[in-house]
Structure 1
Amino acid sequence: MKLFFTRRGGWPVVAALALVGAGSAAFQAADSVPLGQILTRLQTFYTTAQPEISYLHTNQAAYASGETLWFKAYVVHDQTHQLDSLSRVLYVDMVTPTRQVVFRRTLALRGGLAEGDIVLPDTLTQGVYTLRAYTSWMRNAGEETFFTRRVPVWQASSLTSEMAPLPARAATLAAAARKNAKLLEAASKPEVKFFPEGGEYVAGLQTVVGVKAVTAAGQGLALNGLILDDKDQEIAVFTTPALGMNSFGFTPAAGRRYQARIKLPDGTTQTYPLPAVQASGWLLNVREIGPNYQVYIRHQGMAGAAAAPEALRLVAHVRGTPVYAGEGQITGAETYAASIPKAKLPAGIMHITLFDGQQVARAERLVFVPDPEGLRVTLTPDKARYQPREAITLDVDVRSAAGEPAPAELSLAIANLAGLPTVGTTDATVQSHLLLTSELRGYVDNPGYYFRNPTPATRKALDDLLLTQGWSRFVWKELLTETSPTAAYAFPAEQSITLGGQLLRPNLKPVPNGTLTLLQKKSNTINVGTANPEGYFLFVGFPGQDSIKVLLQARTEKGKANVLLKLNELWPAPVKLLPAPFLPAATNPAPEVVAYGQRSRRQQVLERQFRPDTTSGIVLRNVTIKGQRQAPPSGPRSIHGRANTVLETSKIPNADSYSNIFQLMQGRVAGVQVTPSGYSYQVLIRGVSSLTGSSTPLFLLDGMPLADADGLLGILPNTVERIEVLKGAEGAIYGSRGANGVIAVFTKRGNPNYDSSKEPSVGIAVRNLPTYYRAREFYAPRYEPTQPNNPKPDPRATTLYWLPRLSVPASGQARVIFYASDQGGSFRAVVEGISKTGQPALGETSMTVADVR
């Protein structure tokens, strides 16, 4: 066990030392040269920040409740796309449509690889969930750099369950259908936005405008529209295809305002404003012409100002590798032109940025560079059709575009083509993520479309996408300051499971150089260390093999106990989620849902019956839990009577492992929304009406009112007896202060009958550290020729085979042998992965298994 000091912002010095010496030395220039400064800062960012990309390959696109979701994780370096990145710990979450994390996995990365699974209980609510994967280091760049995948889960078990009376089941489904219809209606309202190429409309300068029309679920919309000026004169006409994106030419006039009048799918008309026209500014246009990307730059000065030369600098990079750098000047109506040859550009998104003479980024354009040297992955089954339980031999061949063998790390999934509906699914692949979506901010609907069949139409669609999508790695304004790009990083690059945080005073100011004592309860091991001047600390070296409960005690530098421990959250609460459609209600399911549900349920029952170690998600039913209002224990600490909800910490497993009471409350109190906000939290009680215009509830601590939620941050969960939530009539006793509801916290210390000598004081925290998840093994029986008639049924009907570790050696060839099941059908085999040189690998084929006679 070791304790590392951390810099301001929290990232460890040991990580900084590990970064020294990495990166490219291209385009070296003296710092006194502005263009050299720009390139140097760009390289410095990638050298020190070392961005990471995570990706999950799953066995299916959609699931029925009760099934197992199998996944393979890949983590690569952003610049090279090679495996074995900076981090050695990966976190995988599954998040509900209401932003609650329902499943968590902590995985040990070995060479940038890990595998896992999630058993989806058959009680899981139907909906489109979000699967996300991230490292601690990735959290410094924000949630939008996490890998995310939409995963629909269908409540297919209700189609075959006979455990509830039919009328009750019908009533429940009818209520769900009504609610679903309202959600679908709300989700149909479109969002339409306009994006001038380069970033701005400049009066009098013709440019290209990208338009993006999507539903609330992120799906594209085909629309027709007109561009009108403030005199209602028609300026331009446009349409959007099914993807919802297109572009059109536009020349804005000085002093004019513009809007779009659009005919919506329901026949109604709605207007949307365009961004304001700038009287002066820069224009950046990029066109793909022959073997080059042609860049055109124009500048419009202020009206009435004499034309004078304007200095400019142009920088282009792909994943931090500079591919073009030039500088010059432009006067009046001149056009500055530059050519960037396509021949030797790395594959991916090229960022082209225009700077003025003061090194201010004025315009930016994203352009996609295809990979002409992509890998060729071939899957060849030894037959096209197989009998039940017959051996299947699948040859895998990976080669470069030149035909040379290419070693790679792959994963293989073989699933029934008769699957669930495609509603809410995604066609994202390792190729589309590495080369496209990992570099973009925001949701991209079905990115695999742009790669499956490259044509002029798909290239145009991809260019329209990049006209309307943001970028995520850094902001030039921040990059060109003297501050280190990682100075504000708060999370370490974990080599093992860590325990970190900050020491604070009750007023939330840092405690400098405080002392820490860490006790591992199982082994009675004690470690002692000191925090840094900003109060940050980080314990590393936890093996993650067994469950570890630790007690951490903090004191000031002089040994005083008035210290609060603010521990880093291991799993960040979701703030943003992928836009997702609502699945149709189960009152009248589609035939494909019924058929799949029957196959899946039969498979789960057989697994449960014949495999004691089953991964089936079937759970016990007929358990009814009824909630009711509870009267709090009588005492002098409260003036109210009954509470709507009482949360007793003694009834919550591992309640003392939470960093604060807000984490404890998240997802446990119906109608109460708890959301992280910086270093604090926002609490909203639904169903209350405000008399003051505020939405903040009244917070009480042992009956005493607090100014805001921050007053409860220093209250550790292990000191809390209960939390009561009041709304409506129950909170009326507090007058207008309780109009938004009441959160009343009662501590153990405040109870006169409690013996405080047995309870840890402030400055002590207890946490259960996670263990590395040990992935289950996919059930894939072998049928020897001498024993073809095994009496046990083979239930595999949805996913026939899952092989998370498929290593292709230097020969570029590998062979996989597995067996067909008792269930016939057509199956699709897909391999995904990454080559040794960092290229995405993707291949597929199909095969058929005959039905049992």
Structure 2
Amino acid sequence: MKTNYLFAAFFLLSLSLSFTSFSQNITQRGPNNPGVPTIVQVSAKDSLYVMREHVVLQLANEQINNDLLFFKAYLLTGPQQNRYSNSRVLHIELQDTDGTTVKKQFHEIVNGMVAGNIIVPKRTKEGNYTVKAYTQWMKNYSDTPYTQKHIQIGDAFDDTNIAPKNTITILPEGGTFLQGYKNKIAFQIPSQLVSNDGTLGTIIDSQDNTIIKVQDYDAGSGIAFLEPKNGERYFLKLDNGTTYPLPNSEDQGHLLRINNIAPAIASIQVVRTEKAQKTPLKLVGTLRGVPYFEKKINFTKNSADIKLDKEKIPRGILQLQLIDLEGNLIAKRPIWIEGQSLQITMDQVASTDNEVTYKVKVTDQKNKPVKTEVALSIISEGDKSTSIKETDLFSSLSQERNATTERNRRFLQDMRVLIAHQDNGTEASIMTDNITYPIQKGLRVIGYAYDLNNKLLINTPVQVMFTNENGISIEETTTDANGVLRVDNIQIDGETTLVCRTKADDTKSRLVQLERIEDAFYVDPEKEKARIKEAKRGSKKERNVSQEEKELAVKPFDTSGTLVLYEVPLTGKKTKEAPPTETPSVYGVKPPKHRIIYQDPDKPKQVGELLLRIPGVIVSGLGDISPTVSIPRASGSPLFVVDGFPITQASNGFGNSFTGGILSSAPRSNLNDLLAVVNYSDIQRIEVLIGPDAAIYGSRGAGGVIAVYTRFAEDTFIPRKNAQLEFQGYEPVVAFEEYQQNLSKRERENAAVLYWNPSIETNENGEAMITLPITDTTKPLKVKATTINQKGNVGILQTSLN
């Protein structure tokens, strides 16, 4: 059944035509053609199956003393786990041991990868923390969608919340312990309890008779084989005399035996006791919830041998489950699938008195060069540095290849997986037919929209203005019947200020404030009814706007053609003098009085008319679609600045309008760029800066600066800050070199991370050169390099530098 379903899923994935269906459109960018989207219309369940995503994290260091943690994330998608992602947003959360989120960040996914950093908030307490990484799409699955990594902040290390180091683990293979059969049992004890002779302890019976010693294979982990007798109890006796009971043996049931030492084939044996029920059974293998293997068990004399082709399964932990036809679990066993791995080497090729040059090379299993991107870190391992053991796609290759044979390496990895994942339970299948969380192509702003009279705005056009250090731009949208304002697919970096407004006769009705919806994909029906009633009766009840809105994100949008330029009536009436209170000029630079014009708050004039009243400013084409502004005395197109924030300048600096049949030689700026950002009735004054006055804006001010200031809070005017929110976009990436330069000498000397480069690109020969400064540290240096190419092949290097 599942085999046919798997084939159908792959068939759907390969199609490039659309089916008539009540489902969503999915844009797929596969590894073979990442730039060309293929539109496939499939059911929700098919979409969840073929587009399942998984995140793999590499941290530059698991312990930090400062305020920055560097990481590289790889996104793997689909049944074959290729490195690409339909999602464009990666969510990163830093949580303490209580599960409280200390920091949440958003990062943009490019080519199935993210290279970023986590800025730890100031005054964060020392201790153990968890880094969680996930996409919005991953939250559709019933099993845990998060990728987790444990880190240590500060020097105070406490591993009790990371791994049960003080507990004893005893796990029979498959979860069954049968009398009269040889059973494989995995053991794990704290490494400090390993005896001097290299054993974990001794298996004894109830009479204290020694049965067999358990060899230590890997820092407190071992394997032993035992054939229990009917009615006998067995114990693990440690070197200190403490005993721990083994599970009670059974006289009927099934054994699931697996030999996973061979590189391509896993040998599986299913054994059935004479007393066991002779019901039909099947063996199912799933990896991250996706079925890859299913085999009906055909017994011959109560035994069945099965060969599992591991080369057809992507890299990861495959959960094998022996079940009956009703889905009841009989036995289970996790095994490690190596997949098509890559080899990374790092060799010194040159050196001077100050630096050393290394060649990083990536090859496949046939020793052919691989062009890919490598993330590489070098850390200094001090006495307080503690390694946190976790099993992920990089873990099986964490041993140096020259330290042991490949056969022994696979044996150790199989033992680690058996111990770490035997009790993780059955992987959840995709049971839902609905997609709750769509593929996220960008960040989102969503909330209930109110004016400053606390009136809910239903089906109301709203203009959203975005302001950050890069300038100002706008987007136009309309609230829905519930008064909800949405802006989707936002792409912007860093902190941004959001201001919303709508059409109205007064500023208090014109400015819009948002009350954030906590869960953007669930709205409480009862709360909706209450809000609609409130809107109909025009409630003036005061509300407290949540400060958590800062987590939202915004992005400038192209607004050309979205606003209509009003006709400007020209009159000879003089505007009012300056009000007693006004917005201060930016940096205290104020031009001469004749280059300042004030708006009349009682009878406000259009922007074009105000500019015409300033000597030296030319406004052309006021009746045209694209009027322009120029300052002949300056050399370039004027720069518009609103309340200190520059608006994007025209690239060529010349407008297209004509004056008297002759194209004006003065560079111009399109007046619509200013009209799209500020309403003429909100203007307090306009200042024109020329020459030295405009020098504070650098080369952008060479063509002069038209600085627009909006009104301060007085009488009928409301301050803009009452309707503005601060939001966080994609987390800006801090380059490692910049980070190091900002450290003090002492911080640099004590820093654990000496080198980090998440994007080392190998050439056609699979090679890349890196140059490292020579350090005078006497501490051992640990190198870790990882890569996952577009086919999902994984490579890792972990070694030490002399």
Comparing 76-85 with 768-777, which one deviates more in the overlay?
76-85
- Superimposed CA distance per residue, residues 527-563 of structure 1 (whole angstroms, 9 cap, x where no aligned partner): 33479xxxx9997323344536543588969984268
Aligned position for 1:851: none
Change (3 A) 1:825 1:364: closer
Could you tell me which amino acid in structure 2 is paired with residue 387 of structure 1?
Answer: D
- Counterpart CA distance in 2 for 1:836 and 1:364 is 32
Q: Deviations over 1:628-683 (max 9, x none)?
A: xxxxxxxxxxxxxxxxxxxxx99x99267799xxxxxxxxxxxxxxxxxxxxxxxx
8 A Cα contact 2:479 2:486, kept in partner: no
CA distance in 2, matches of 1:515, 1:451: 65
| Aligned equivalent of 2:93 | 93
C-alpha spacing 1:490/1:414, structure 2 compared with 1 (3 Å): same
Partner residue in 1 for 2:371: 407
Q: Shift of the alpha carbon at 1:338? A: 2.4
Q: TM-score, structure 2 length as denominator?
A: 0.55
Q: Which amino acid aligns with 2:322?
A: L
Q: Which moved more, 1:536-545 or 1:200-209?
A: 536-545
Query: Which residue of the partner structure matches residue 302 of structure 2?
Result: 334
Match of 1:804 among 750, 755, 758: 758
Do the aligned partners of residues 63 and 47 (structure 1) sit closer, same or farther apart at CA in structure 2, a change above 3 Å counting? Answer: closer
Residue pairs, 1:673-684, within 5 angstroms: none
Correspondent of 1:433 among 388, 392, 395? 392
Match of 1:547 in 2: 496
Aligned mates of 1:191, 1:846 — CA distance in 2? 31
Distance 1:195 1:280, change over 3 A: same
| Structure 1 position 71, deviation (Å) | 2.3
TM-score (norm. length: structure 1): 0.52
- For residues 495 and 473 of structure 1, the distance between their equivalents in structure 2, rounded to whole angstroms, comes to 33
In structure 2, relative to structure 1, the CA distance for the partners of 1:198 and 1:780 (3 Å cut) is same
Aligned to 1:383: 350
1:841 paired with 2:795, answer yes
C-alpha spacing 1:414/1:315, structure 2 compared with 1 (3 Å): closer
Q: Report the counterpart of residue 198 of structure 1 in structure 2.
A: 174
SS of the residue 2:132 aligns to: strand
| Distance 1:421-1:129 versus aligned 2 partners, 3 A rule | farther
- Aligned pair 1:52/2:53, yes or no? yes
Superposed displacement of residue 199, structure 1: 2.4
**Cα 1:810–1:96, aligned 2, differ >3 Å: closer, same or farther?**
same
Aligned to 1:126: 126
In 2, are the aligned partners of 1:54 and 1:73 still within 8 Å (CA)?
yes
User: Post-superposition shift, 1:222?
Assistant: 6.6
Within the alignment, does 1:112 sit opposite 2:112 as a pair?
yes
1:226, distance to aligned residue in structure 2 (A): 3.3
Task: Give the 3-state SS of the residue equivalent to 2:737 in structure 1.
Answer: coil
Structure 2 counterpart of 1:136:
136
Q: Is residue 417 of structure 2 the alignment partner of residue 466 of structure 1?
A: yes
> Does structure 2 conserve the Cα–Cα contact (< 8 Å) formed by 1:195 and 1:209?
yes
What is the aligned partner in structure 1 of residue 431 from structure 2? 485
1:648-687 pair list within 5 angstroms: 654=547
Match of 1:528 among 459, 462, 479: 479
Letter in 1 for 2:398: G
Which residue number corresponds to residue 295 of structure 1?
268
C-alpha displacement of 1:496:
1.4
- CA–CA distance in 1 between the matches of 2:45 and 2:475? 44
Match of 1:263 among 235, 238, 249: 238
Structure 1 residues 352, 51: closer, same or farther in 2, change over 3 A? same
Shift of 1:206: 3.8
Q: Is the 8 A contact 1:89 1:496 kept in 2?
A: yes
1:374 Cα deviation from its structure 2 partner: 3.2
8 Å CA contact 1:223–1:240 kept in 2: the answer is yes
- In structure 2, the residue corresponding to 1:469 is in which secondary structure? helix
Q: Kindly provide the amino acid, as one letter, of the partner of residue 543 in structure 1.
A: Q
Label 1:779 to 1:453 Cα distance change in 2 as closer, same or farther (>3 A): same
Q: Alpha-carbon deviation of 1:85?
A: 1.5
Matched residues in 2 for 1:793 and 1:465: separation?
41
For residue 414 of structure 2, what is the amino acid of its counterpart?
D
- Give yes or no for contact 1:81–1:434 (8 Å, CA) kept in 2: no
Distance in 2, matches of 1:424 and 1:402, equals 36
After TM superposition, the structure 1 stretch with the greater mean CA deviation from structure 2, 555-564 or 139-148, is 555-564
Match of 1:448 in 2: 398
Distance 1:461 1:498, change over 3 A: same
Amino acid at match of 2:373: E
Please tell me the root mean square deviation across aligned C-alpha atoms, in Å.
Answer: 5.4
1:402-450 C-alpha deviation (Å, 9 max, x unpaired): 23221112223344x4x4336432376xxx632668xxxxxxxxx8249
Contact 1:556 1:563 in 2 (8 A): no
Separation of aligned partners in 1, 2:724 and 2:175: 50
Against the structure 1 CA distance between its residues 268 and 344, is the aligned structure 2 distance closer, same or farther, given a 3 Å change threshold? same
The one-letter amino acid paired with 1:200 is: T
Cα separation, 1, equivalents of 2:162 and 2:56? 32
Counterparts of 2:400 and 2:365 in 1: how far apart (Å)?
20
CA gap of 1:19–1:328, structure 2 versus 1, over 3 A, is farther
Q: Answer whether contact 1:190 1:216 (CA < 8 A) is retained.
A: no
Q: Does 1:367 align with 2:335?
A: yes
Shift of the 823–801 alpha-carbon distance from structure 1 to 2, 3 Å rule, reads: same
2:383 aligned to which of 421, 434, 442: 421
* Alpha-carbon offset, residue 261 of structure 1: 4.8
Superposed CA offset, 1:281-307 (max 9, x none): 32221225877533222223658xxxx
Distance 1:278 1:409 in 2: 52
Q: How does 1:209-358 map to 2 (within 5 A)?
A: 209-214=185-190, 223-228=200-205, 238=214, 240-241=216-217, 243-252=219-228, 256=231, 258=233, 260-263=235-238, 267=240, 269-272=242-245, 274=247, 276-278=248-250, 280-288=252-260, 292-300=265-273, 302=275, 310-316=279-285, 325-330=294-299, 334-340=302-308, 347-358=315-326
Change (3 A) 1:814 1:427: farther
Q: 1:401 to 1:461 in 2, by over 3 A?
A: closer
CA distance in 2, matches of 1:215, 1:426: 14
Sequence identity (%): 19
| Distance in 2 of aligned mates of 1:769 and 1:71 | 23
Residue 750 of structure 1 corresponds to which residue in structure 2? none
1:770 alignment partner in structure 2: 728
Query: Aligned in 2, Cα 1:289/1:468: closer, same or farther, shift over 3 Å?
Result: closer
Q: Is the 8 A contact 1:293 1:342 kept in 2?
A: yes
**Does the CA-based 8 Å contact 1:203-1:278 persist in structure 2?**
yes
In the TM superposition, residue 772 of structure 1 has moved relative to its aligned partner by 0.7
State the match for 2:442 in structure 1.
496
Secondary structure at the counterpart of residue 26 of structure 2: helix
SS at match of 2:515: strand
Q: Verify the 8 A CA contact 1:381 1:393 in the aligned structure 2.
A: yes
- The answer for unaligned runs of 5 or more in structure 2 is 1-20, 32-43, 449-456, 466-473, 499-513, 518-522, 535-542, 553-717
Q: CA 1:292–1:658 in 2, change beyond 3 Å: closer, same or farther? A: closer
Number of aligned residue pairs: give it.
546
Q: How big is the shift at 1:316?
A: 4.6
Quick one: distance in 1 between partners of 2:122 and 2:224?
49
Cα distance in 1 for partners of 2:533, 2:363 equals: 57
Residue of structure 2 in register with 1:37 after alignment: none
Alignment of 1:395-794 (within 5 A): 395-415=359-379, 417=380, 419-421=381-383, 423-426=385-388, 433-434=392-393, 448-449=398-399, 453-455=403-405, 456-470=407-421, 475=426, 479=429, 485-487=431-433, 490-498=436-444, 522=465, 525-529=476-480, 540-545=488-493, 547=496, 550-551=514-515, 560-561=529-530, 654=547, 769-779=727-737
Amino acid at match of 1:495: K
CA deviation map 1:763-810 (0-9, x unaligned): xx9986531111122336999xxxxxxxx9898544444323223344
| 2:761/2:768 contact within 8 Å kept | yes
What is the rounded CA distance, in whole Å, between the counterparts of 1:468 and 1:518 in structure 2?
59
Higher relative contact order by CA 8 Å / sep ≥ 6: 1 or 2?
A: 1
